[in-house]
Structure 1
Amino acid sequence: MNQENHKKGKGKFNAEETVSRLYPYIVRVFDVYEVQNSGEALYFYGTPRTSNENITGELWEPLQQFGFSCTLKYELGEYVLLVFPEKKTKEKTWINLVLFIATFFTTMVCGAWMSGADLESEPFQLFRGLPFTLAIMAVLGSHEMAHYVMARYHGMKASLPYFIPFPTFIGTMGALIRYRGPVPSRKALFDVGVAGPLVGLFMSVAVTVIGLNLESPAVSPLSDSMMLGLGLPPLFVFIQKLVGATGENLHPVAFAGWVGMFVTLLNLLPAGQLDGGHILRAMLGKKAEKISFMMPRVLFLIGLYVIYWMKEDGFIWISWALFLWIFAAVGHPSPLHDKVELDKKRILLGIITFILGLLCFTLIPFKPIP
């Protein structure tokens, strides 16, 4: 082993100790005949015992435990397994906090308007929007935190949720988390993908039940505002009947539940890197690409049906079709352990999750009321 750089004190890790720790894991999948140390990384020269994909898949977890990553290369007629320390990036959690506070404010403004507050003449009526804010932040936040917890459980690197304040009719464009590094297995891909929609939908149902038991505020629409009529999905209608709710006007908290169901539907579309795309990719493997390819076209046809046959506004489906057309074309990255199929329990859970998504579907989610 060439340890010249290490002896000079330029190495960033103890090469001998690292080799002794990692060697037993490496030789299971890679016959090593030479090891070199550049001071920045270790180079294991050898012959693969299995496919290239399996090598990185088998080594990902043990290397992660010691803070290393690996890359397999074929250079000048030799296979080289490059092992190097992972760069630790410090999370800028202040960004998450600032976005959370901003979204808390923007959603509270929208919630106050829904409650009939006149913020121009009475700014302190802003706090009338607090119930809606708590409800919508709980729905969106629980969805993303479920992704985060499950990703960390499987050893994946994920950021805390980033809420997105935006001047929409709910005051936000939702929330997201960032993943860094590979997905270790189809099992991990499924668990991370399914956790968000299921937890978010559970919270949406809870918020809907609470909101339907609250008295809807009397609201006089402002002269320059536009009122929206909501299309209620089957799950929402079922909850209405279950709690005995009547009346067309929804309390802002119940509306937050409706938003949660609509967000769940969009996230569960089986295409690209949406949650539904993750779940389907984990369930079917590379066969999922065919369904992902067809999904934008199905949405486009739904949009045309709503516009030309129902004479209603189907722009939401046209826009989502175009969105998925662009992003689904990129494809879905393969998990490291892509050949290990899911167990039957997860397959069943995936089917149930997609059925729940269908129960959140309505042809005309919302339309302007003249």
Structure 2
Amino acid sequence: MEVWLLFFVMGVLTYALIRRTVPPENKAPLSLLWLVMMLPASAWLVWILIFGATQPMPLLLMLPLLILSPFMYWSLLDWGKPKPDESADPSPPPATPQTPSLDLEKLDQAAALKKEGSKLRPISTKEEKALRDCFPWGVYYLQNIDYYPQAILCRGKLRAVPQEAYQTIRDNIEQLFGDRFIVVFQESLRGQPFFALVPNPWKAAQQSQTKEEPLTRPDLAIALVLITLFTTTVMGLELQGVAPEVIQQNPSMLWQGLPYGLLLVAILGCHELGHYGAAAYYKIKTTLPYFVPIPFFIGTLGAYTQRKSPIPHRQALFDFAVAGSWVGMLLTLPCLWVGLGLSQVVPLPEESTLLAFNEFNPRFSLLLGLMSRLALGNQFTPDMALDLHPVAIAGYMALMLGGLQLLPIGQLDGGLMTHAVFGQRTASIIAQVTRICMIAIAFVQPNFLFLAIFALLMPIANQPALNDVTDLDNRRDLLGMFTLVFVALIFLPLPAGLSNWLNF
């Protein structure tokens, strides 16, 4: 049952990611994309059903699937892209109130359309002359103005501190055009800073008189918190081995699952409130934190806070990501420490999974292994596993969900941090390396196969800040690099040499 449950959750998450990341204009069927990405997981499930979980799937059988699956996925996406004659319309797509994002590859592909300048120009010749005057030569020496379907690109040479240059030029452009454009300061693929004028989606929405959804819905947020508290409480009992029939016959047992439910909801809630607080500090419009309850697995798929306006600069991007993840982690680690200390040691089974809480082997994680040794001392020996206390289960699940968010990929908190620290280009390289590492870890620890699939599905790119050029200070750089080390401690297995040296 546990294998089927894990496969089901993996399938739901995979489909949700595909539906969210595949552009609407792509003709590739979502169901086919889902089947392709679920190939490794399906083969893993079939292997377990035939040979059992005690016999690991051969590497030579899994490796071709892990290579073939993403190759087929990206091939299908490429096949489903609109043909040039279908996307030759130079007019920009309908504006939606989302954070502006410039796809440099698409902008380069659209260079052929520049010949139709009269169609692509959203400003007059007189306005273009005034636009050139917005760039003082001592701040940013403007050389070219290029018109694309998505934006007006102003390329030149930076002659001042990025923060001062952006502030000066943005103020000049706002004086000229008002709120007609949003000014983005970004680096090209060659590392050259450029300015882009993106049509303001909020102004377009007002002109079309479209009724926007309310930004905050406290009634919905409170209802989802209460529902999630109930589902996590019920699942807290089931994770402790209490059958659903017993819970139905004796509802008073729900009190025994409440510590797990309360702690997990509190940690996830504080994580999202950290995001919400940072967004409020930098005046970024966001929704309230919304939980996602489910009546199986751990009782929830987490919570989310959706941004509705651009992030002003890389410092705000970093603080937004850090405020959520590290607030959550600073609550998770003490909870996990206390829970491990309350747990009981039991004989080590021949085979253990990530959800076998009665015979839990924490050595699949370097951080969990070390914390278990420190919390239990000499009781935790090489031939022992753990019967996790409900508090430890809550801390463990919060650690895995928080660690997943800290992976330095795309729109995840870790991806936003690496983007803010290293810039967009380097962050993309780090994301690719992380994908490869997650696949390698899945070979050592087959229970992490779903993480490898998740990493492959997650888009590498994320939306840049309006000022995406100004670097962070040293304190934030150090915290960002420490976060990368911390993520490695969560997902890297405990080395055998270290385990033998410390005798656990």
Same fold (TM over 0.5): yes
The whole-number CA distance in structure 1 between the counterparts of 2:218 and 2:182 is 34
CA contact (8 A) 2:337 2:392 kept: yes
CA contact (8 A) 1:190 1:283 kept: yes
| 1:139-288 alignment, distance < 5 Å | 139-214=267-342, 227=356, 229-232=360-363, 233-244=365-376, 246=379, 248-287=386-425, 288=427
Cα deviations across residues 239-266 of structure 1 (Å, max 9, x unaligned)?
3333336461111111111112212221
The whole-number CA distance in structure 2 between the counterparts of 1:205 and 1:85 is 46
Aligned match of 2:456: 322
The whole-number CA distance in structure 1 between the counterparts of 2:345 and 2:232 is 17
CA contact (8 A) 1:56 1:71 kept: no
Counterpart residue type for residue 296 of structure 1: R
Give 1:56 shift: 10
* TM-score normalised according to structure 1 size: 0.70
Cα deviations across residues 324-365 of structure 1 (Å, max 9, x unaligned)?
2xx22xx2222111121111111011111222222222459x
The whole-number CA distance in structure 1 between the counterparts of 2:434 and 2:258 is 37
Give 1:322 shift: 3.1
Aligned match of 1:133: 261
| 1:315-354 alignment, distance < 5 Å | 315-324=449-458, 327-328=459-460, 331-354=461-484
Counterpart residue type for residue 315 of structure 1: L
Structure with the larger helix share: 2
Q: Which runs of 5+ in 2 are unaligned?
A: 1-125, 141-152, 155-165, 184-196, 207-211, 347-354, 380-384, 495-504
Q: Specify whether residues 362 and 107 from structure 1 end up closer, same or farther in structure 2 by C-alpha distance, changes over 3 A only.
A: farther
Cα deviations across residues 19-64 of structure 1 (Å, max 9, x unaligned)?
xxxxxxxxxxxxxxxxxxxxxxxxx95324237684798459x99x
The whole-number CA distance in structure 2 between the counterparts of 1:251 and 1:301 is 31
- 1:163 counterpart SS class: strand
Q: Specify whether residues 55 and 106 from structure 1 end up closer, same or farther in structure 2 by C-alpha distance, changes over 3 A only.
A: same
Cα deviations across residues 59-105 of structure 1 (Å, max 9, x unaligned)?
59x99xxxx954169xxxxx999795997844222121121111111
Counterpart residue type for residue 188 of structure 1: A
- 1:248 counterpart SS class: strand
1:295 aligns with 2:405: no
CA contact (8 A) 1:217 1:251 kept: no
The whole-number CA distance in structure 2 between the counterparts of 1:178 and 1:342 is 24
Counterpart residue type for residue 47 of structure 1: L
Give 1:297 shift: 3.4
Q: Specify whether residues 131 and 244 from structure 1 end up closer, same or farther in structure 2 by C-alpha distance, changes over 3 A only.
A: same
Q: Specify whether residues 215 and 299 from structure 1 end up closer, same or farther in structure 2 by C-alpha distance, changes over 3 A only.
A: closer
- 2:387 counterpart SS class: coil
The whole-number CA distance in structure 1 between the counterparts of 2:456 and 2:269 is 27
The whole-number CA distance in structure 2 between the counterparts of 1:241 and 1:230 is 12
Counterpart residue type for residue 335 of structure 1: A
Q: Specify whether residues 72 and 314 from structure 1 end up closer, same or farther in structure 2 by C-alpha distance, changes over 3 A only.
A: closer
Give 1:125 shift: 0.9
CA contact (8 A) 2:329 2:399 kept: yes
CA contact (8 A) 2:215 2:287 kept: no
Give the superposed CA RMSD: 3.4
1:109 aligns with 2:234: yes
Cα deviations across residues 4-25 of structure 1 (Å, max 9, x unaligned)?
xxxxxxxxxxxxxxxxxxxxxx
The whole-number CA distance in structure 1 between the counterparts of 2:262 and 2:169 is 41
Cα deviations across residues 195-229 of structure 1 (Å, max 9, x unaligned)?
222111111112113323436699xxxxxxx8454
Counterpart residue type for residue 338 of structure 1: D
Q: Specify whether residues 96 and 217 from structure 1 end up closer, same or farther in structure 2 by C-alpha distance, changes over 3 A only.
A: farther
Pick which of 171-180 and 236-245 moved more.
Answer: 236-245
Counterpart residue type for residue 196 of structure 1: G
CA contact (8 A) 2:181 2:199 kept: yes
| 1:16-27 alignment, distance < 5 Å | none
- 2:491 counterpart SS class: coil
Counterpart residue type for residue 449 of structure 2: F
The whole-number CA distance in structure 2 between the counterparts of 1:165 and 1:358 is 29
Counterpart residue type for residue 376 of structure 2: G
The whole-number CA distance in structure 2 between the counterparts of 1:57 and 1:315 is 48
2:222 counterpart (97, 108, 124) = 97
Counterpart residue type for residue 108 of structure 1: T
The whole-number CA distance in structure 1 between the counterparts of 2:289 and 2:313 is 23
The whole-number CA distance in structure 2 between the counterparts of 1:109 and 1:80 is 49
Q: Which runs of 5+ in 1 are unaligned?
A: 1-43, 74-78, 219-225, 365-370
CA contact (8 A) 2:343 2:386 kept: no
- 1:157 counterpart SS class: coil
Counterpart residue type for residue 313 of structure 2: S
Give 1:291 shift: 2.1
CA contact (8 A) 1:296 1:320 kept: no
CA contact (8 A) 1:57 1:184 kept: no
Pick which of 197-206 and 314-323 moved more.
Answer: 314-323
CA contact (8 A) 1:194 1:353 kept: no
State percent identity of aligned pairs. Answer: 31
The whole-number CA distance in structure 1 between the counterparts of 2:423 and 2:217 is 35
Aligned match of 2:181: 71
CA contact (8 A) 1:271 1:292 kept: yes
Give 1:164 shift: 0.7
Paired residues in the alignment total 295
